[in-house]
């Protein structure tokens, strides 16, 4: 039940006017989950490498130094965009609906990427030093950025936190921003995120709740939409993007057993095979034809 206490706290913070800042204080000084450790950073670096590989395999025929990358939902420490810079990406536009990036956390990422040089004193300095434009708060549903102005869209562990209707709008906006021939590389973590905090929970635990019950637990600060892999892929196609890579991970045998033992909410009982329901991480690449 530890997870319910955490959910209640985040739900409370989520409805406060300065909830985002209070959550930062909580994550940094109480939960001590920020700054994330070096192993988390290395995992994010590997995700940036996967996005760059997707650009090289499916994006336009343009060197990454000349390409414009766009990432939505960049978070606190800008670990992925700074990894992109270290990998040679020349220009980046970053958006986040919350102005979560913090200079001290960005400098923590920079300290782990020695090739990028020393710390910054402000987020504005990222433009001059790394070609990174950080735009927040800015909603990825409607950025106001010029149409067909980016070569590549990436997103990492964000879509699972966005309500389904908002996600449809975000994918349409990605389509609008991409130049024809541009590519979108996306990673989505479909596991119940409270299971990371409370090891007694199955990674599918949240599938047992009706939408009404889940609404009571869900917090604006840690929203989880519970969409499954086929739902995301449908939204991508409906936005007019063409899927060129679909890479679901899981479920393994243990995952299938956990699913079988779980009293699924009606919403998840029909309409999905156990294989579809149990996907833990979904990566895909789609192109704008
Ligand atoms: C879990 S964090 C992921 C952070 C980062 N991508 C990483 O891997 O470290 C999800 C981020 O998505 C952002 N986000 C959620 N909805 C958004 C929207 N409609 N437009 C832009 N950003 C959004 C949140 O504010 C949050 O910073």
- Extents of the domains making up the chain: 37-190+227-287
Under 8 Å between Cβ of 154 and 71: yes
CATH code for the domain defined by 37-190+227-287: 3.40.50.150
Which among 48, 95, 97, 174 is the best mutation to test ligand 1's pocket, defined by most ligand atoms within 8 Å of the CB? Answer: 97
Which among 14, 73, 157 is the best mutation to test ligand 1's pocket, defined by most ligand atoms within 8 Å of the CB? Answer: 73
Whole-number Å distance, alpha carbon 261 to ligand 1 midpoint, is 32
* pLDDT exceeds cutoff 90 at 37: no
Centre a 10 Å sphere on the Cβ of residue 221 and count the other Cβ atoms it contains: 21
Peptide bond into 251 cis (omega under 30): yes
Whether 78 is in the pocket of ligand 1, judged by its Cβ within 6 Å, is no
**171-208 pLDDT tens trace:** 999 999 999 999 999 999 999 999 998 889 999 999 99
* pLDDT exceeds cutoff 90 at 221: no
% residues pLDDT > 90 (the chain): 82
Q: Which residues contact 138 (CB under 8 A, 6 or more apart)?
A: 95, 96, 97, 144
* pLDDT exceeds cutoff 70 at 1: no
Specify the pLDDT at position 20: 72
Whether 239 is in the pocket of ligand 1, judged by its Cβ within 6 Å, is no
Mean of pLDDT values over 258-281: 96
Which residue puts its alpha carbon closest to atom 24 of ligand 1?
Answer: 73
- Of 19-33, 39-53, 218-232, which has the strongest mean pLDDT? 39-53
pLDDT band at 148 (very low <50, low <70, confident <90, very high): very high
Whole-number Å distance, alpha carbon 141 to ligand 1 midpoint, is 12
Which residue puts its alpha carbon closest to atom 10 of ligand 1?
Answer: 158
Tokens at 223, concatenated: 């929203």
Beta bridge partners of 227: none
* pLDDT exceeds cutoff 90 at 24: no
Higher-pLDDT residue of 164, 27: 164
Whole-number Å distance, alpha carbon 257 to ligand 1 midpoint, is 31
* pLDDT exceeds cutoff 80 at 15: no
Whole-number Å distance, alpha carbon 36 to ligand 1 midpoint, is 16
Mean of pLDDT values over 249-278: 95
Which of 28-32, 200-204, 271-275 has the least mean pLDDT? 28-32
Whether 125 is in the pocket of ligand 1, judged by its Cβ within 6 Å, is no
Whether 47 is in the pocket of ligand 1, judged by its Cβ within 6 Å, is no
């Amino acid at each position: 039940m530890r997870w319910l206490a955490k959910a209640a706290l985040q739900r409370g913070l989520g409805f406060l006017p300065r909830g985002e800042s209070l959550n930062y204080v909580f994550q940094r000084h109480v939960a001590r989950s920020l700054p994330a450790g070096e192993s988390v950073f290395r995992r994010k670096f590997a995700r940036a490498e996967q996005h760059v590989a997707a650009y090289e395999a499916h994006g336009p025929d343009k060197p990454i130094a000349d390409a414009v990358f766009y990432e939505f939902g960049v978070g606190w420490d800008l670990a992925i965009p700074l990894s992109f810079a270290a990998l040679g990406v020349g220009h980046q536009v970053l958006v986040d609906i919350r102005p979560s990036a913090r200079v001290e956390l960005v400098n923590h990422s920079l300290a782990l990427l020695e090739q990028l040089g020393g710390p910054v004193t402000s987020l504005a300095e990222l433009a001059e030093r790394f070609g990174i434009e950080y735009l927040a708060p800015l909603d990825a549903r409607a950025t106001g950025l010029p149409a067909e102005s980016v070569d590549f869209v990436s997103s990492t562990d964000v879509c699972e936190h966005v309500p389904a209707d908002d996600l449809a709008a975000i994918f349409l906006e990605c389509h609008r921003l991409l130049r024809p021939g541009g590519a979108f590389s996306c990673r989505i973590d479909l596991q119940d995120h409270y299971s990371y905090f409370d090891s007694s929970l199955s990674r599918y635990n949240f599938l047992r709740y009706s939408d009404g019950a889940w609404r009571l637990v869900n917090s604006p600060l840690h929203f989880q939409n519970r969409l499954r892999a086929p739902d995301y892929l449908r939204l991508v196609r409906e936005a007019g993007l063409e899927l060129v890579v679909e890479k679901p991970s899981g479920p393994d045998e243990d995952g299938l057993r956990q699913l079988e033992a779980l009293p699924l909410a009606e919403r998840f009982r029909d309409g999905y095979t156990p294989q579809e329901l149990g996907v833990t991480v979904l990566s895909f690449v789609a192109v704008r034809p």
